[in-house]
Structure 1
Amino acid sequence: MVTRLLLQTAVWLAAMGVLLFGAAGTLAWPAGWWYLIETGVLSLWIGLWLARHDPGLLAERLAPIVQAQQSRWDRVFMVSVSLVWCAWLVLMGVDAVRLHWSPPVPVGLVSLGSLCIVVCLVMCRAVFRANSYAAPVVKIQASRGHKVIDSGPYAYVRHPMYAAALFLFVGTPLLLGSWWGLACVPVMVLGIGWRAVREERLLNAELDGYPDYTSRVKYRFVPLIW
């Protein structure tokens, strides 16, 4: 399992590197290198922790993004998200380095972007600690005894993983120095908001106790907002 984790992480980082530096047209981009190092180290930290504490969840996290158990709409969503993510990285490389469409991002905001990525990954670890069923695809994991989780971050919002993603969405373009990348964030938030609503319909229909959970935990992403 650890070998698979290392291999998939290396492939993922290499693919992002090709997109970012290919779009930038140069390897002389410190922010791009720091982004890959930061996300790579933090992802391995979480993955190795899962390998020790919850190998079943790690297997789910390493599984393909398109699976037979998924609803058709989620298969389409996951493929679309992958394409949008790649296009987003290319846009930021072109914007921040190759064509300089954006004015420079202040150093303080670049540092804030890096911090947001750390916050995202720390929040994800808290999610994985609380929820052994936090698969990347929407499905009922009956073979693993899927049940409602209402502890940890799930006591405050129904989708803490998506809440963590908000920090990644904001932090990535700030760190990479792309205002155009930041301008895309509202569309991405709308996308995961749409998925959260569709996911809840499935869980309400097929997961025992989920309707009661949604009646107790009112907010999806951010307490007192939504």
Structure 2
Amino acid sequence: MKELKMGRQSPNKHEISPGTRRAIISWIMQAALGMVGYSLVLVLVVGRWDWLWGWILIGALTAFMAAHPLILMPINPKLLAEREKGIGGKGTKVWDKWVASLAAGVFPIASWVVAGLDTRFHWSQTMHLACHLIGLVIMILGFVLFLWAMASNAFFSEGVRIQEERGHSVATRGPYRWLRHPGYVGAILSQLATPFLLGSVWAFLPTAASAALFILRTYLEDKTLMKELPGYQEYAKKTRYRLLPGVW
């Protein structure tokens, strides 16, 4: 889950090179295999097939991933190809490979595992239905904000890097009018919603770690952009807040 602050690009919507097409197909295949893998993880840890909230999580994640090509293919297919590179792309900051892997990979999956084991062995008390539903609503809001940020930023890459080859500029549209890192706000919201959706108090431990790392990533990325992205310092003077209006 990564967002570099860049602005308008004018990709040709109607021309997709063979390399871009291959990258898009690869992204779709990886996403599909990922959802199968996530489903198997949840089934194995909970020990049964009928975990309602686990399947609702899978459904929400599937819709979220399916929205990527639906949104990007009409407006910027090259961005989907860029995101296929993941955090291992050329030029990605070394520190980001570690931070992103933990924040968007290890700890979210750990929260699902913990929640599944909690459900299986009844470590914590059953949550009220309202808690599950609130978690689902917050998760969807987080996904929507993330997707809005992605649609508004032509350089919303997976890894923190300056994309000079793509003519990188500062994003000022959509949620970037109010926050410098709206995609991370969406990611944090969806992470913190997971324990409520899955009904596990213990799942707050890995989700809190994930949220803390996204905050650290915001700080480090912001410093990178201040130093390396032309126009970002001026943008930061106008858009003062990184994640939370009035606070930071």
- TM-score tier by shorter-chain length is over 0.9
Deviation at 1:133, TM superposition (A): 0.6
In the other structure, the counterpart of 1:192 is 214
Write out per-residue CA displacement over residues 38-65 of structure 1, whole angstroms, 9 at most, x where no aligned residue: 2102320232221222101111222232
Distance of 1:31 and 1:40 partners within structure 2: 14
In the other structure, the counterpart of 2:16 is none
- SS of alignment partner, residue 198 of structure 1: helix
In the other structure, the counterpart of 1:225 is 247
In the other structure, the counterpart of 1:144 is 166
Give the letter for the 1:91 counterpart.
Answer: V
Greater relative CO, 1 or 2 (CA 8 Å, sep 6+)? 2
Residue 7 (1) aligns with residue 49 (2): no
Distance of 1:87 and 1:170 partners within structure 2: 13
Deviation at 1:123, TM superposition (A): 1.1
Deviation at 1:11, TM superposition (A): 1.0
Residue 83 (1) aligns with residue 106 (2): yes
Unaligned runs of 5+ in 2: 1-20
Unaligned runs of 5+ in 1: none
Does the 8 Å contact 1:67/1:75 carry over to 2?
no
Tell me the TM-score normalized by structure 1.
0.93
Does the 8 Å contact 2:87/2:100 carry over to 1?
yes
- SS of alignment partner, residue 162 of structure 2: coil
- SS of alignment partner, residue 65 of structure 1: helix
Distance of 2:94 and 2:64 partners within structure 1: 31
Identify the match of residue 57 of structure 2 among 23, 35, 47. Answer: 35
Does the 8 Å contact 2:132/2:199 carry over to 1?
yes
Tell me the TM-score normalized by structure 2.
0.85
Deviation at 1:187, TM superposition (A): 2.5
Distance of 1:4 and 1:186 partners within structure 2: 31
User: Aligned residues: percent identity?
Assistant: 28
